[in-house]
Protein backbone atom coordinates (compact mmCIF):
# COMPACT_ATOMS: atom_id res chain seq x y z
CA UNK A 1 0.00 0.00 0.00
CA UNK A 2 2.90 2.34 0.72
CA UNK A 3 3.88 2.48 -2.94
CA UNK A 4 0.39 3.50 -3.92
CA UNK A 5 0.20 6.24 -1.32
CA UNK A 6 3.52 7.64 -2.44
CA UNK A 7 2.45 7.92 -6.06
CA UNK A 8 -0.87 9.42 -5.05
CA UNK A 9 0.89 11.90 -2.78
CA UNK A 10 3.12 13.26 -5.51
CA UNK A 11 0.03 13.85 -7.62
CA UNK A 12 -1.84 15.87 -5.01
CA UNK A 13 1.26 17.79 -4.00
CA UNK A 14 2.30 16.65 -0.53
CA UNK A 15 -0.93 16.24 1.43
CA UNK A 16 -1.79 12.55 1.83
CA UNK A 17 -5.15 11.86 0.17
CA UNK A 18 -7.95 10.31 2.17
CA UNK A 19 -8.68 6.64 1.52
CA UNK A 20 -11.89 7.55 -0.21
CA UNK A 21 -10.40 10.03 -2.66
CA UNK A 22 -7.60 7.60 -3.46
CA UNK A 23 -10.22 4.93 -4.11
CA UNK A 24 -12.23 7.26 -6.34
CA UNK A 25 -9.09 8.22 -8.26
CA UNK A 26 -8.49 4.62 -9.31
CA UNK A 27 -12.17 3.71 -9.66
CA UNK A 28 -12.99 6.65 -11.92
CA UNK A 29 -10.11 5.84 -14.27
CA UNK A 30 -12.19 2.84 -15.36
CA UNK A 31 -14.88 4.40 -17.55
CA UNK A 32 -16.98 1.24 -17.63
CA UNK A 33 -17.08 1.16 -13.85
CA UNK A 34 -18.38 4.73 -13.65
CA UNK A 35 -21.08 3.96 -16.23
CA UNK A 36 -21.96 0.83 -14.25
CA UNK A 37 -22.20 2.86 -11.07
CA UNK A 38 -24.58 5.39 -12.62
CA UNK A 39 -26.78 2.68 -14.16
CA UNK A 40 -26.86 0.91 -10.80
CA UNK A 41 -27.81 4.11 -8.96
CA UNK A 42 -30.57 4.68 -11.53
CA UNK A 43 -31.95 1.16 -10.95
CA UNK A 44 -31.69 1.67 -7.19
CA UNK A 45 -33.64 4.93 -7.51
CA UNK A 46 -36.34 3.17 -9.56
CA UNK A 47 -36.58 0.40 -6.98
CA UNK A 48 -36.86 2.73 -3.98
CA UNK A 49 -39.36 5.12 -5.56
CA UNK A 50 -41.26 2.48 -7.57
CA UNK A 51 -44.74 3.63 -6.43
CA UNK A 52 -44.00 7.17 -7.68
CA UNK A 53 -42.06 6.25 -10.83
CA UNK A 54 -44.19 3.42 -12.19
CA UNK A 55 -47.01 4.61 -14.46
CA UNK A 56 -49.39 1.83 -13.36
CA UNK A 57 -49.86 -0.65 -10.56
CA UNK A 58 -47.84 -3.85 -11.17
CA UNK A 59 -50.83 -6.07 -10.41
CA UNK A 60 -53.88 -4.36 -11.93
CA UNK A 61 -55.14 -6.35 -14.92
CA UNK A 62 -56.65 -4.47 -17.81
CA UNK A 63 -58.92 -6.97 -19.57
CA UNK A 64 -59.32 -4.71 -22.61
CA UNK A 65 -55.60 -4.43 -23.35
CA UNK A 66 -54.22 -7.97 -23.41
CA UNK A 67 -50.76 -8.39 -25.03
CA UNK A 68 -50.64 -4.78 -26.18
CA UNK A 69 -47.40 -4.18 -28.14
CA UNK A 70 -44.86 -1.55 -27.01
CA UNK A 71 -45.25 2.07 -28.11
CA UNK A 72 -42.78 1.99 -31.01
CA UNK A 73 -44.55 -0.88 -32.71
CA UNK A 74 -47.80 -0.55 -34.64
CA UNK A 75 -50.76 -0.79 -32.30
CA UNK A 76 -48.84 0.35 -29.24
CA UNK A 77 -49.84 3.25 -27.06
CA UNK A 78 -48.06 5.77 -24.80
CA UNK A 79 -50.20 4.55 -21.93
CA UNK A 80 -48.18 1.34 -21.86
CA UNK A 81 -44.71 2.17 -23.13
CA UNK A 82 -43.40 -1.40 -23.04
CA UNK A 83 -46.78 -3.00 -23.74
CA UNK A 84 -48.88 -5.27 -21.58
CA UNK A 85 -48.67 -8.97 -20.72
CA UNK A 86 -51.16 -11.79 -21.25
CA UNK A 87 -53.49 -10.60 -18.50
CA UNK A 88 -53.19 -6.90 -19.34
CA UNK A 89 -50.67 -5.77 -16.73
CA UNK A 90 -48.28 -2.94 -17.64
CA UNK A 91 -44.84 -4.47 -18.31
CA UNK A 92 -42.84 -1.32 -17.55
CA UNK A 93 -44.46 -1.00 -14.12
CA UNK A 94 -43.82 -4.66 -13.37
CA UNK A 95 -40.18 -4.29 -14.35
CA UNK A 96 -39.78 -1.22 -12.14
CA UNK A 97 -41.32 -3.04 -9.18
CA UNK A 98 -39.25 -6.12 -10.07
CA UNK A 99 -36.07 -4.12 -9.47
CA UNK A 100 -37.04 -4.09 -5.79
CA UNK A 101 -37.02 -7.87 -5.64
CA UNK A 102 -33.78 -8.35 -7.53
CA UNK A 103 -31.83 -5.77 -5.53
CA UNK A 104 -33.32 -7.05 -2.29
CA UNK A 105 -32.37 -10.63 -3.19
CA UNK A 106 -28.83 -9.53 -4.04
CA UNK A 107 -28.50 -7.60 -0.79
CA UNK A 108 -29.82 -10.38 1.45
CA UNK A 109 -27.81 -13.12 -0.27
CA UNK A 110 -24.57 -11.14 -0.16
CA UNK A 111 -25.09 -10.21 3.49
CA UNK A 112 -25.87 -13.78 4.52
CA UNK A 113 -23.07 -15.39 2.56
CA UNK A 114 -20.46 -12.74 3.39
CA UNK A 115 -21.13 -12.76 7.13
CA UNK A 116 -21.18 -16.54 7.45
CA UNK A 117 -18.43 -17.13 4.89
CA UNK A 118 -16.05 -14.59 6.41
CA UNK A 119 -16.59 -15.88 9.96
CA UNK A 120 -16.01 -19.48 8.94
CA UNK A 121 -13.06 -18.62 6.71
CA UNK A 122 -11.50 -16.51 9.45
CA UNK A 123 -11.74 -19.37 11.91
CA UNK A 124 -10.32 -21.86 9.38
CA UNK A 125 -7.43 -19.63 8.33
CA UNK A 126 -6.55 -18.46 11.84
CA UNK A 127 -6.67 -21.72 13.74
CA UNK A 128 -5.66 -24.12 10.92
CA UNK A 129 -5.20 -27.77 11.94
CA UNK A 130 -8.19 -30.05 12.38
CA UNK A 131 -10.79 -27.27 12.42
CA UNK A 132 -9.48 -26.03 9.09
CA UNK A 133 -9.46 -29.49 7.51
CA UNK A 134 -13.00 -30.14 8.71
CA UNK A 135 -14.33 -26.82 7.42
CA UNK A 136 -12.62 -27.13 4.05
CA UNK A 137 -13.93 -30.67 3.51
CA UNK A 138 -17.47 -29.41 4.13
CA UNK A 139 -16.93 -26.61 1.62
CA UNK A 140 -15.61 -29.20 -0.89
CA UNK A 141 -18.87 -31.10 -0.45
CA UNK A 142 -20.99 -28.03 -1.19
CA UNK A 143 -18.80 -27.23 -4.21
CA UNK A 144 -19.17 -30.79 -5.55
CA UNK A 145 -22.71 -29.93 -6.68
CA UNK A 146 -23.56 -27.55 -9.52
CA UNK A 147 -24.76 -24.48 -7.60
CA UNK A 148 -28.07 -24.14 -9.41
CA UNK A 149 -28.88 -27.84 -8.92
CA UNK A 150 -28.14 -27.66 -5.19
CA UNK A 151 -30.23 -24.51 -4.88
CA UNK A 152 -33.05 -26.18 -6.81
CA UNK A 153 -33.01 -29.23 -4.55
CA UNK A 154 -32.78 -27.10 -1.40
CA UNK A 155 -35.80 -25.12 -2.52
CA UNK A 156 -37.61 -28.40 -3.17
CA UNK A 157 -36.89 -29.35 0.45
CA UNK A 158 -37.78 -25.96 1.94
CA UNK A 159 -40.70 -25.25 -0.39
CA UNK A 160 -40.73 -22.84 -3.37
CA UNK A 161 -40.69 -19.14 -2.58
CA UNK A 162 -38.52 -16.06 -2.51
CA UNK A 163 -37.22 -16.43 1.06
CA UNK A 164 -36.21 -20.07 0.60
CA UNK A 165 -34.59 -19.26 -2.73
CA UNK A 166 -32.50 -16.60 -1.00
CA UNK A 167 -31.42 -19.01 1.74
CA UNK A 168 -30.49 -21.65 -0.83
CA UNK A 169 -28.50 -19.23 -3.00
CA UNK A 170 -26.66 -17.88 0.07
CA UNK A 171 -25.65 -21.38 1.03
CA UNK A 172 -24.24 -22.23 -2.39
CA UNK A 173 -22.44 -18.86 -2.62
CA UNK A 174 -20.87 -19.02 0.81
CA UNK A 175 -17.95 -21.46 0.15
CA UNK A 176 -16.34 -18.89 -2.17
CA UNK A 177 -16.13 -16.43 0.71
CA UNK A 178 -14.81 -19.10 3.07
CA UNK A 179 -12.02 -20.02 0.66
CA UNK A 180 -11.12 -16.42 -0.12
CA UNK A 181 -11.06 -15.30 3.52
CA UNK A 182 -9.07 -18.34 4.56
CA UNK A 183 -6.43 -17.79 1.90
CA UNK A 184 -6.13 -14.09 2.75
CA UNK A 185 -5.95 -14.75 6.51
CA UNK A 186 -3.26 -17.38 6.02
CA UNK A 187 -0.95 -14.96 4.20
CA UNK A 188 -1.67 -12.02 6.51
CA UNK A 189 -1.19 -14.05 9.70
CA UNK A 190 2.52 -14.60 9.00
CA UNK A 191 3.28 -10.92 8.44
CA UNK A 192 5.28 -8.87 10.90
CA UNK A 193 2.51 -6.51 11.95
CA UNK A 194 0.39 -9.43 13.15
CA UNK A 195 3.30 -10.99 15.02
CA UNK A 196 3.99 -7.54 16.44
CA UNK A 197 0.53 -7.01 17.87
CA UNK A 198 0.58 -10.56 19.21
CA UNK A 199 3.83 -9.81 21.06
CA UNK A 200 2.28 -6.57 22.30
CA UNK A 201 -0.38 -8.71 23.98
CA UNK A 202 -3.37 -8.57 21.63
CA UNK A 203 -5.92 -11.30 22.31
CA UNK A 204 -7.17 -13.84 19.80
CA UNK A 205 -10.40 -11.99 18.97
CA UNK A 206 -8.60 -8.68 18.60
CA UNK A 207 -6.03 -10.26 16.31
CA UNK A 208 -8.71 -11.93 14.20
CA UNK A 209 -11.18 -9.10 13.78
CA UNK A 210 -9.24 -5.87 14.28
CA UNK A 211 -5.73 -6.73 13.13
CA UNK A 212 -6.10 -9.29 10.34
CA UNK A 213 -9.62 -8.93 8.92
CA UNK A 214 -9.40 -5.28 7.76
CA UNK A 215 -6.36 -6.19 5.67
CA UNK A 216 -8.22 -9.00 3.91
CA UNK A 217 -11.15 -6.86 2.82
CA UNK A 218 -10.07 -5.89 -0.71
CA UNK A 219 -10.60 -9.26 -2.42
CA UNK A 220 -13.73 -9.82 -0.34
CA UNK A 221 -15.34 -6.61 -1.54
CA UNK A 222 -14.67 -7.56 -5.16
CA UNK A 223 -16.06 -11.05 -4.60
CA UNK A 224 -19.11 -9.60 -2.84
CA UNK A 225 -19.89 -7.52 -5.95
CA UNK A 226 -19.65 -10.61 -8.13
CA UNK A 227 -21.81 -12.56 -5.68
CA UNK A 228 -24.40 -9.77 -5.80
CA UNK A 229 -24.82 -10.13 -9.55
CA UNK A 230 -24.61 -13.93 -9.39
CA UNK A 231 -27.38 -13.95 -6.77
CA UNK A 232 -29.64 -11.88 -9.03
CA UNK A 233 -28.99 -14.30 -11.91
CA UNK A 234 -29.54 -17.40 -9.75
CA UNK A 235 -32.74 -16.07 -8.22
CA UNK A 236 -34.05 -15.20 -11.67
CA UNK A 237 -33.11 -18.69 -12.89
CA UNK A 238 -34.96 -20.28 -9.96
CA UNK A 239 -37.95 -18.02 -10.66
CA UNK A 240 -37.78 -19.03 -14.31
CA UNK A 241 -37.82 -22.72 -13.36
CA UNK A 242 -40.84 -22.04 -11.13
CA UNK A 243 -38.96 -22.58 -7.87
CA UNK A 244 -38.27 -18.97 -6.87
CA UNK A 245 -40.72 -16.13 -6.32
CA UNK A 246 -44.22 -17.32 -7.18
CA UNK A 247 -46.64 -15.59 -9.56
CA UNK A 248 -48.06 -12.96 -9.52
CA UNK A 249 -44.92 -11.49 -7.88
CA UNK A 250 -43.32 -9.16 -10.47
CA UNK A 251 -39.89 -10.82 -10.09
CA UNK A 252 -38.03 -10.73 -13.41
CA UNK A 253 -37.32 -14.45 -13.67
CA UNK A 254 -40.87 -15.33 -12.69
CA UNK A 255 -42.16 -12.87 -15.30
CA UNK A 256 -40.09 -14.69 -17.93
CA UNK A 257 -41.51 -18.04 -16.85
CA UNK A 258 -45.06 -16.69 -17.20
CA UNK A 259 -44.22 -15.17 -20.59
CA UNK A 260 -42.66 -18.31 -22.08
CA UNK A 261 -45.77 -19.57 -23.80
CA UNK A 262 -46.21 -16.29 -25.66
CA UNK A 263 -42.77 -16.12 -27.25
CA UNK A 264 -44.07 -16.69 -30.77
CA UNK A 265 -46.91 -14.18 -30.45
CA UNK A 266 -45.61 -11.36 -28.28
CA UNK A 267 -41.84 -10.92 -28.25
CA UNK A 268 -41.98 -7.95 -25.87
CA UNK A 269 -43.36 -9.99 -22.98
CA UNK A 270 -40.17 -12.06 -23.03
CA UNK A 271 -37.63 -9.47 -24.13
CA UNK A 272 -37.98 -6.68 -21.57
CA UNK A 273 -37.79 -8.55 -18.24
CA UNK A 274 -34.67 -10.37 -19.45
CA UNK A 275 -33.15 -7.12 -20.67
CA UNK A 276 -33.72 -5.71 -17.18
CA UNK A 277 -31.83 -8.66 -15.67
CA UNK A 278 -28.98 -8.28 -18.17
CA UNK A 279 -28.60 -4.52 -17.64
CA UNK A 280 -28.64 -4.81 -13.85
CA UNK A 281 -26.15 -7.68 -13.76
CA UNK A 282 -23.92 -5.98 -16.33
CA UNK A 283 -23.89 -2.72 -14.36
CA UNK A 284 -22.88 -4.54 -11.18
CA UNK A 285 -20.18 -6.55 -12.96
CA UNK A 286 -18.77 -3.35 -14.53
CA UNK A 287 -18.58 -1.89 -11.02
CA UNK A 288 -16.89 -5.06 -9.83
CA UNK A 289 -14.15 -4.69 -12.45
CA UNK A 290 -13.63 -1.08 -11.36
CA UNK A 291 -13.49 -2.07 -7.70
CA UNK A 292 -10.85 -4.66 -8.51
CA UNK A 293 -8.77 -2.03 -10.29
CA UNK A 294 -9.13 0.33 -7.36
CA UNK A 295 -8.56 -2.17 -4.56
CA UNK A 296 -6.04 -4.65 -5.95
CA UNK A 297 -2.59 -3.23 -5.24
CA UNK A 298 -0.97 -5.77 -7.57
CA UNK A 299 -2.83 -4.34 -10.55
CA UNK A 300 -2.27 -0.73 -9.54
CA UNK A 301 1.45 -0.96 -9.95
CA UNK A 302 1.23 -2.18 -13.52
Partner 1 sequence: MFRFIFGRLAVLIPTFLGVSIIAFSFIRLLPGDPVMLMSGERVMSPERHTQIMHQLGLDRPMYVQYFDYLTGLLTGDFGSSIVTKRPVLDDFLQLFPATLELALCAIIVAMVLGIPAGVFAAVKRGTWFDQSIMGVALVGYSMPIFWWGLLLIIFFSGYLGWTPVSGRISAMYFFPPVTGFMLIDSLLSGQTGAFKSAATYLILPTVVLSTIPLAVIARQTRSAMLEVLGEDYVRTARAKGLSPFRVIGVHALRNAMIPVITTIGLQVGVLLAGAILTESIFSWPGIGKWMVDSVFKRDYAVVQGGLMLIAGVIMIVNLVVDLLYGWINPRIRH
Q: CB of 63: closest distance to partner 1 in angstroms?
A: 26
Check residue 129 for interaction with partner 1 (CB under 8 A).
no
**One symbol per residue from 220 to 249: x for binding partner 1 (CB under 8 A), - otherwise; what is it?**
---------x---x--xx--xxxx------
Q: Closest separation between CB of residue 188 and partner 1, Å?
A: 23
In the bound complex, what is the minimum distance in angstroms from residue 264's beta carbon to partner 1? 5
Is 281 a residue that touches partner 1 (CB under 8 A)? Answer: yes
Q: Does 147 bind partner 1 (CB under 8 A)?
A: yes
Question: Per rule CB under 8 A, is residue 216 in the interface with partner 1?
Answer: no
Closest to partner 1 by CB, 54 vs 237, is 237
* Interaction between residue 302 and partner 1 (CB under 8 A): yes
161 sits near partner 1 (criterion: CB under 8 A): no
Contact between 149 and partner 1 (CB under 8 A)?
yes
**β-strand partners of 80:** 77
Q: Pick the piece of the chain touching partner 1 (CB under 8 A) from 14-22, 111-119, 144-152, 187-195.
A: 144-152
The CA distance from 38 to 227, in Å, is 19
135 binds partner 1 per the rule CB under 8 A: no
The string of DSSP letters for the chain reads -HHHHHHHHHHHTSSPPPHHHHHHHHHHH-HHHHHHHHHHHHHHHHHHTHHHH-SS-SS---TTSTTPPPTTSTT-BTTBTT-B-TT--BHHHHHHHHHHHHHHHHHHHHHHHHHHHHHHHHHHHHH-HHHHHHHHHHHHHHHTS-HHHHHHHHHHHH-SSHHHHHHHHHHHHHHHHHHHHHHHHHHHHTSHHHHHHHHTT--HHHIIIIIIGGGGHHHHHHHHHHHHHHHHHHHHHHHHTTSSSPTTS--HHHHHHHHGGGTTT-HHHHHHHHHHHHHHHHHHHHHHHHHHHHH-HHHHH-
Q: Does 106 bind partner 1 (CB under 8 A)?
A: no
Is 267 near partner 1 (CB under 8 A)? Answer: yes
Per the DSSP assignment, residues forming a β-bridge with 90 are: 84
Instruction: Establish if 263 lies at the interface with partner 1 (CB under 8 A).
Output: yes
Contacts with partner 1, 174-193, as mask; x by CB under 8 A: --------------------
Show contacts with partner 1 in window 13-52 (CB under 8 A): 32
Query: Given the complex with partner 1, which of 38 and 49 has the nearer CB atom?
Result: 38
- Cβ contact 3:302 at 8 Å: no
Binding of residue 270 to partner 1 (CB under 8 A): yes
Among 3, 153, 163, 195, binds partner 1 (CB under 8 A): 153
Q: Which of 222, 236, 219 is nearest to 106 (CA)?
A: 236
The residues that touch partner 1, with contacts defined as CB under 8 A, are 32, 137-138, 140-141, 143-149, 152-153, 156-157, 159, 229, 233, 236-237, 240-243, 253, 256, 260, 263-264, 267, 270-271, 273-275, 277-278, 281-282, 285-286, 289, 302
Amino acid sequence: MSIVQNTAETKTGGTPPSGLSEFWYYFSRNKGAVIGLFVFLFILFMAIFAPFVAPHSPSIQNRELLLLPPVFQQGGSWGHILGTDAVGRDILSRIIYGARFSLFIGLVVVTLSVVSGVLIGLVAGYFRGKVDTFIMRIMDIILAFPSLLLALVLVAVLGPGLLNAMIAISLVNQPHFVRLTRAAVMTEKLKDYVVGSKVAGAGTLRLMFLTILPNCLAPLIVQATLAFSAAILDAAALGFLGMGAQPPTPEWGTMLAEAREFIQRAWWVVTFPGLAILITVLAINLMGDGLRDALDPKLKRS
